[in-house]
């Protein structure tokens, strides 16, 4: 990893003290459950009030078709490499790290309120299994052709879901994030939009399983549009993207909104709605020049796995870049790639750092900045990342030609000194966490980034979906 990232991690790897008790509902959205900045080497709460000057900041990608501009840094589920995904804590950390957009995934409650979860099945990301009052809600369902057993948001009212607390999905991979388990309730989409608008960043929202939710009478599209409209987000020029792995709801949305739409892709398989209709087209078909031209009839961008832009073999070795970026641009589509994560387990082989035989090698942070700079160099227009600070640093260095300053990527926030600050003294960390912060540290990156950021947080990587 770069020297900059290593120092940042040394700060972040000092977990906050355990909470003294359960978080009250009134704390949701307050500074009591807020992000953390750094003062004199110590973590401190960051105010959730609007940051002076942020509202005037130009969000990359706000003008569709501007392929020569700054690539957008998209905080995937917030900054979930360091904070539990889809919590307000994670989204605030992404804002403070310099993300241009935050990316909530939305699902519905039984009373048709949109909440932010990666899946409607919540056993891996909440403490629902510890609530005996909800034991009878555990069930098995077929979601998009797959059997899933657990607890589902559509079987709970919002009030019931608010009694649960978020937990880290991959605690062994991300122990720092797991240190924040139990602090945050499930957030609503409205809360995330309000936070983004207040903070001067964009909203990049994914409708999860839209066909399924429509089939049970809880369609996602209307509440998404009405929530965005309530915050003044209606126009193509607004910093908003609406994404989906299906095609039918995007086509329907095209007739209802001027906001920009994104067709998401998987590496394999096909959109669920096409499968149900008997349409033989796959994601790979939609990635051909002909397929991209069809997508351009209803979408403004494509969100593709990094492997469709630069394939990586089973041993983690990158191959030659594909023509997808150029093909999409010729069809007038922007290209956003998912998902860049900082851990060795998720990086191509040349960017992994440390001893592969070491116990904690998989979760050690590699040269994620180097991997990001390769992707930016391929001409992508945005990157979904669990580590927005690394993506911001890599973007600014790339845009500046590695000249040593942030250049065009500089935020309009007032600078308050160099970033990152020195490591916090804090408590002594365990050997494994120390290894995560220091193993394989590469040469320090050239240049500086203005302190428009506080505690970084990366999101848990996209598994099979965004």
pLDDT (tens digit, 9 = 90+) per residue, 178-232?
Answer: 999 999 999 999 999 999 999 999 999 999 999 999 999 999 999 999 999 999 9
Q: What is the reported pTM?
A: 0.77
Tokens of 355: 């001893």
pLDDT digits (tens, 9 = 90+) for 94-136: 999 999 999 999 999 999 999 999 999 999 999 999 999 999 9
- Identify the bridge partners of residue 44 per DSSP, sorted by sequence position: 37
- What is the band of 419 on the pLDDT scale with cuts at 50, 70, 90? very low
Q: Does residue 268 surpass a pLDDT of 50?
A: yes
Range 3-120+165-450: architecture per CATH:
Alpha-Beta Barrel (3.20)
Q: Which of 90-104, 148-162, 213-227, 409-423 has the lowest mean pLDDT?
A: 409-423
User: Cβ-count burial of 380 within 10 angstroms (0-12 exposed, 13-18 middle, 19+ buried)?
Assistant: buried
Q: Where are the domains of the chain?
A: 3-120+165-450
Task: State residue 151's pLDDT score.
Answer: 98
Q: How far apart are CA 434 and CA 9, in angstroms?
A: 9
Q: State percent of the chain over pLDDT 90.
A: 70
Q: How far apart are CA 435 and CA 430, in angstroms?
A: 9
Tokens of 37: 């900045």
State the average pLDDT over residues 157-172. Answer: 98
Average pLDDT over all residues of the chain:
79
Task: State residue 466's pLDDT score.
Answer: 62
CA distance readout (Å), 271 to 119, 259, 298, 367, 428: 17, 22, 15, 33, 48
pLDDT digits (tens, 9 = 90+) for 367-396: 999 999 999 999 999 999 999 999 999 999
Q: Does residue 286 surpass a pLDDT of 80?
A: yes
Q: Which of 53-67, 119-133, 293-307 has the lowest mean pLDDT?
A: 53-67
Q: Does residue 413 surpass a pLDDT of 50?
A: no
Task: State residue 465's pLDDT score.
Answer: 52
CA distance readout (Å), 425 to 39, 41, 43, 94: 12, 7, 10, 24
Q: How far apart are CA 389 and CA 79, in angstroms?
A: 9
Task: State residue 400's pLDDT score.
Answer: 80
């Amino acid at each position: 990893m770069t020297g900059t990232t290593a120092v940042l991690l040394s700060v972040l790897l000092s977990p906050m003290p355990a909470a003294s008790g359960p978080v009250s509902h009134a704390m949701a959205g307050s500074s009591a459950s807020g992000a953390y900045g750094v003062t004199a080497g110590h973590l401190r709460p960051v105010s959730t009030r609007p940051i002076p000057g942020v509202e005037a900041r130009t969000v990359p990608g706000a003008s569709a078709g501007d392929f020569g501009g700054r690539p957008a840094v998209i905080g995937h589920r917030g900054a979930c490499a360091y904070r539990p995904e889809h919590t307000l804590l994670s989204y605030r950390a992404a804002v403070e790290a310099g993300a241009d957009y935050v990316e909530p995934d939305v699902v519905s409650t039984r009373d048709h309120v949109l909440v932010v979860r990666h899946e409607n099945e919540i056993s891996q990301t909440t403490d629902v299994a510890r609530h005996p009052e909800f034991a009878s809600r555990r069930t098995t369902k077929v979601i998009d052709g797959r059997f899933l057993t657990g607890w589902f948001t559509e079987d709970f009212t919002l009030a019931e879901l608010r009694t649960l607390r978020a937990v880290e999905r991959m605690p062994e991979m991300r122990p720092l994030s797991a240190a924040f388990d139990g602090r945050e309730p499930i957030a609503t989409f409205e809360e995330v939009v309000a936070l983004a608008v207040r903070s001067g960043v964009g909203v990049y929202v994914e409708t999860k399983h839209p066909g399924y939710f429509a089939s049970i009478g809880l369609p996602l599209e209307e509440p998404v549009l009405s929530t965005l409209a309530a915050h003044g987000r209606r126009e193509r020029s607004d910093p908003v993207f609406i994404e989906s792995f299906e095609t039918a709801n995007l086509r329907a949305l095209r007739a209802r909104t001027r906001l920009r739409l994104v067709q998401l892709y998987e590496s394999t398989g096909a959109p669920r709605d096409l499968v149900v209709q008997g349409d033989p087209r796959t994601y790979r078909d939609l990635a051909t020049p002909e397929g991209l031209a069809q997508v351009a009839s209803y979408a403004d961008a494509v969100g593709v796995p990094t492997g469709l832009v630069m394939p990586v073999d089973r041993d983690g070795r990158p191959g030659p870049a594909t023509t997808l970026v150029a093909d999409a641009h010729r069809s007038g589509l922007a290209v956003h790639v998912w998902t860049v994560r900082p851990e060795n387990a998720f990086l191509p082989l040349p960017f992994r750092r440390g001893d592969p035989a070491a116990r904690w090698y998989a979760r050690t942070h590699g040269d994620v900045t180097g991997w990001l700079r390769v992707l930016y160099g391929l001409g992508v227009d945005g990157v979904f990342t669990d580590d927005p600070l690394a993506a911001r640093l890599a973007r600014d260095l790339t845009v500046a030609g590695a000249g040593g300053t942030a250049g065009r990527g500089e935020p309009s926030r007032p600078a308050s000194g160099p970033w990152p600050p020195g490591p916090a003294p804090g408590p002594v960390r365990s050997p494994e966490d120390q290894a995560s912060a220091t193993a394989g540290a590469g040469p320090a990156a050239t240049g500086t980034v203005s302190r428009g950021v506080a505690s970084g947080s990366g999101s848990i990587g996209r598994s099979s979906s965004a």
